[in-house]
Amino acid sequence: MDQVPETNASTTLERLLPGQAPVLTPGHTLETITDKIVSIVLRRPVTLGWVGGFALFFGLMNVLLFAMAYLFFRGVGIWGINIPVGWGFAIVNFVWWVGIGHAGTLISAILLLLKQGWRNSINRFAEAMTLFAVACAGIFPLIHTGRPWLAYWLFPYPNTMGVWPQFRSPLLWDVFAVSTYATISALFWFVGLIPDLATFRDTATNPVAKTVYGLLAMGWRGSARHWKRYESAYLLLAGLATPLVLSVHTVVSFDFAVSILPGWHTTVFPPYFVAGAIYSGFAMVLVLAIPIRRFYGVQDMMTLRHLDNAAKVMLGTGLIVAYGYSMEAFYAYYSGNAYELFVLKNRMLGPLAWSYWCLIIFNVLIPQVLWIRKVRLNPGMLFGTSLVILFGMWLERFVIVVTSLHRDFLPSSWGMYVATRWDYAVFAGTLGLFFSAMFLFVRLMPMITIFEMRMLLPQAKLSEEVAAHD
């Protein structure tokens, strides 16, 4: 990404006062907000750039289908996993994708409860990002089971075999946490869409679009009674999603922390997994938001203040993650446990030391540039930093999964892990699935929540005398 030229006069103000800058550039009315967001989907012609980008990622998605077909045919032996490293890329990618989803829920639910008005223009596409990221994540544990056509055995249902799943296992907690998370995220996203779909229904001129958006809007008519129940349900969903999102990555960390493996068995895992999830998720939000605001000209709705705030969240969560790394090292040293000490030494100096030190550089050292305000207000540099963080967070999971497993308690059971081309193909394929879904999303759905943007307008509020009559 090149540096984005900011020609708007108000952005100069933002450069000077990012904290006080309005979250919506002044001059908008109820009408212009609606028109601007609706026209991206209903009026704007499909550009060559969109077709090219979509074709690229759709092609990558087909790599996923091909790699999965071959996997089902041959079995997980085509991957680099073997005893002692039974959890390779599949689990690394699973944790990485679930983590990315977390920022979407944080933006839509937690920032809603904290009354952060700036979230209103980025929550919709961040929620879509969550949904697609969780879809990508869900693929991995399933195809990692070896016989994915029997994956429904994970769910408790009365069966002719007379057996039940083991509810004391963190792996089953994961099934419940991730499927609940996917369901609630989808509900939250869809409920948020209903009023905007009604706007689309009322604005569309194409009869097919009108019918489809009309069916999805379910007859929404903006009745005051409906809005009241709607707001109540939306707030309740936000309140439910807040502890849920914290619980999901906690449960994912339990997959490791509840085991007794050196390097996994620590109490610092749940908080530092959650912080890492938000860290990588905000990086993905920026990787998506920076091109979107440029190509669709929505810099007046996704302002530099949004980028600045997201960068600050990354800086904060990044420091928590860095604290997690140092505590992990301290625990190993302070425990006096020979195996813990060995894992620490092996991570830093063993055959996979490159991954540990790359992790420290990408996740701890480089992101410190976010202390500098110029970097936070420069979309190009933020984009680059976010990519570095995304890669660093992927490496973190690689270090946790692989370096703990490849040296067992007995040297006779030591092994090495090398990913095969099929490991890379499945991972690249999920990137294709994720980005092609995002490409479709920005063309088919309102990527900015129209009705919540209307609420940010000064003229949307009642004048004091009318409000005071109550």
Partner 1 sequence: MTDQVLHGVVAEFTTPDGLVIACKKARAAGYSRMDAYTPYPLEEAAEAIGFTKTQVPLLTLIGGILGGLSGYLLQYWVHVLAYPMNVGGRPLHSWPSFIIITFEMTILFAGITAVVGMLTLNGLPQPYHPIFNHPRFTAASRDRFFLCIEAADPRFELEKTTRFLQATDAIDVAEVAD
Which residues contact partner 1 (rule: CB under 8 A)? Answer: 29-31, 34, 156, 162-168, 172-173, 176-177, 180, 183-184, 187-188, 190-191, 195, 198-199, 201-203, 218-233, 236-237, 240-241, 243-244, 247, 251, 254, 451-452, 454-455, 459-463, 466-467, 469-470
Distance CA 109, CA 239 (A): 7
Sign of CA dihedral 404, 408, 412, 417: negative
CB 390 within 8 A of CB 283: yes
Distance CA(17)–CA(373), nearest Å, equals: 11
Residue 218 Cβ vs partner 1, minimum distance, rounded to whole Å? 4
Vertex 121, ends 116 and 127: CA angle to 5°? 90
CB atoms within 10 A of CB 237: 20
Q: Minimal distance in Å, beta carbon 408 to partner 1?
A: 21
What is the nearest approach in angstroms of partner 1 to the Cβ of residue 164? 4
Name the residue nearer to partner 1 (CB basis): 253 or 346: 253
- Least Cα distance to 324 among 366, 277, 255, 282 occurs for 277
In angstroms, the CA 259 to CA 236 distance is 35
Of the pair 77, 156, the CB lying nearest partner 1 is at 156
Closest to partner 1 by CB, 225 vs 374, is 225
Minimum CB distance to partner 1 smaller for 87 or for 213 = 213
Between 44 and 231, CB nearer to partner 1:
231
> What does the alpha-carbon distance between residue 352 and residue 415 come to, in Å, rounded to a whole number?
12
Nearest approach, Cβ of residue 299 and partner 1 (Å): 23
Provide CB contacts within 8 A for 387, sequence distance 6+: 283, 287
CA nearest to 86, candidates 406, 387, 327, 399: 406
* Tokens 């309140």, located at residue: 239
Least distance CB 128 / partner 1 (angstroms): 18
Which one-letter DSSP state was computed for residue 77? Answer: G
Minimum CB separation of residue 444 from partner 1 in Å reads: 18
> Whole-number minimum distance, CB 186 to partner 1, in Å?
10
Single-letter code of the amino acid located at 73: F
8 A C-beta contact, residue 318 and residue 36: no
Tokens of 9: 């006069």
| CB-nearer residue toward partner 1: 2 or 464 | 464
What whole-number distance in Å separates Cα of residue 305 and Cα of residue 118? Answer: 8
Q: Which is nearer to partner 1, 82 or 203 (CB)?
A: 203
Least distance in Å: CB of 233 to partner 1? 4
| Residue among 228 and 373 whose Cβ is closer to partner 1 | 228
> Quick count: other Cβ atoms within 10 Å of Cβ 72?
14
